[in-house]
Amino acid sequence: MTKDKRVLVGMSGGIDSSATCIMLQEQGYEVVGVTMRTWDIPSHFSTPGQEQPDEILEAQAVAARLGIEHHVADVREEFRKVIVQYFIDEYMRGRTPNPCVLCNPLFKERILCEWADRTGCQWIATGHYCQIEKRNGWFYIVTGDDATKDQSYFLWKLPQEILSRMLFPLGGMTKDKVREYLAHKGFEAKAKGGESMEICFIDKDYREFLREHCPDIDERIGPGWFVDSKGVKLGQHKGFAYYTIGQRKGLGIALGEPAYVLKINPEKNTVMLGDADQLRTEYMLAEPPVAPDIEELLACPNLSVRIRYRSRPIPCQVVRLPENGYLLVRFAVEASAITPGQSAVFYDGNRVLGGSFIASQQGIRKISAEHAPLFDKKR
């Protein structure tokens, strides 16, 4: 079979990647599978003495049953250096990371491309619930038909050279339909399988993970002060890395009324608390964007933004600040809990125009007041 009909599938041994392999076979592709061994967790090993994690054994079993070539990529050391270290570093900066956003372009899809070249595959495919559209010479991520499983939010950093090779066979299906399809193809037990973890390398509270993999974290940070919006000390906290914007539970302080984390200042090791109203804002600052066509993003009349996974898109306008290339976002309705380190993903309807990491909101009132005329000029 020619190279243009060979496709490399990232196989986890689960529902989605297994269905992806079967569908592509039915579409006439010669499927090659690769499973990445990224991070070992005790719960990934079902039996004593087991040398390979469950997902590799399950992927190998599926590959054998389908008669497809299968490879294992042991990338644990690189994963630790790139993705896990990023996760730790972001919390140490007082930010809240979303490792999946970085993992896809810098790690998983990049490795898929390398293995595709090595195995003579033109295409790479995954079980993500999203789609691809080519428009004006650019490749765009488009939301999946199953709104409850759509994963377009995580893929905004994928570069054009990867998108041009990507196939997403599940993008036009719902999860229930995928389960039905898999059962119909004779994989009844797998079709009833559970969902994977949102962060694949953490099976506990992230604070425990930080302490385990950064043993001197409490020495480096130490206790600090909870403060209110006026800087008045309210009590001690355990260290700024253990908190995130919008957090209400587990603060370890009783103020007689619900309190939320409003801001984190890693330089001063302070965590600002306040009420829910103080979390709301009309503006947001985001780092310089990544987009196929940045001018299209800036000029889009029907722009919306998602500021966290599973959140609803919020209609907005954006301007690019001339001094640093950051985006100033003005929401059509107030947003809540703007969290530095998370992703702001911009949409025109169901098409991803680009994305950015949410920046520190320090000085946002002054910045928005100074640059408000830029929005008026766009009208």
Task: Dig out the tokens for 152 from the structure.
Answer: 């377009």
pLDDT of residue 379: 58
Report the predicted TM-score, pTM, of the whole model to 2 decimal places.
0.94
Q: What is the CATH number of domain 3-191?
A: 3.40.50.620
Name the CA radius of gyration of the chain, rounded: 22
Strand order in the sheet with 166-167: 69-74, 30-37, 6-10, 123-125, 166-167
DSSP string, 323-371: TT-PEEEEEEEEEE---TTSEEEEEETTEEEEEEEB---TTHHHHHHHH
Average pLDDT, 10 consecutive residues per value, the chain (379 residues): 84 96 97 96 90 95 97 96 95 95 89 96 97 97 95 95 97 97 95 80 90 94 96 97 96 93 97 97 97 96 95 96 95 97 98 97 94 78
**103 in catalytic set:** yes
pLDDT of residue 270: 98
d(CA 44, CA 55) in angstroms, rounded, equals 7
CB 132 within 8 A of CB 141: yes
pLDDT of residue 378: 64
Beta strands in 203-357 (DSSP E): 224-227, 233-237, 260-265, 270-274, 280-286, 303-306, 314-320, 327-336, 343-348, 351-357
CATH topology agreement for domains 3-191 and 222-274: no
**Which residue in the list 21, 100, 130, 200 is annotated as catalytic?**
200
pLDDT of residue 373: 87
Cα separations in angstroms, 96 against 93, 158, 362, 363: 9, 21, 15, 19
> What is the distance between the terminal CA atoms of the chain, rounded to a whole angstrom?
55
**Which residue in the list 21, 103, 130, 316 is annotated as catalytic?**
103
**200 in catalytic set:** yes
pLDDT of residue 3: 64
HSE-CB at 117 with a 13 A cutoff on CA atoms is 6
| Domain parsing of the chain, residue ranges | 3-191, 222-274, 280-378
d(CA 364, CA 370) in angstroms, rounded, equals 10
Q: Which residues are annotated as a binding site for ATP?
A: 10-17, 36, 127
Fold for 222-274, please state it: SH3 type barrels. (2.30.30)
- Crossing angle for the helix pair 54-66 and 15-26, nearest 10 degrees? 20
d(CA 267, CA 123) in angstroms, rounded, equals 46
At the top level of CATH, which class does the domain 280-378 belong to? Answer: mainly beta
Q: Minimal CA–CA distance to 12: which of 44, 32, 34, 29?
A: 34
Task: Dig out the tokens for 305 from the structure.
Answer: 């933004």
d(CA 96, CA 357) in angstroms, rounded, equals 10
- Go through 173-196 and write b for each residue having 16 or more CB atoms within 10 A of its CB, e for each that does not: bbbeebbebbeebebeebbebeee
d(CA 342, CA 339) in angstroms, rounded, equals 6
Q: Which residues are annotated as a binding site?
A: 10-17, 36, 127
pLDDT of residue 2: 63
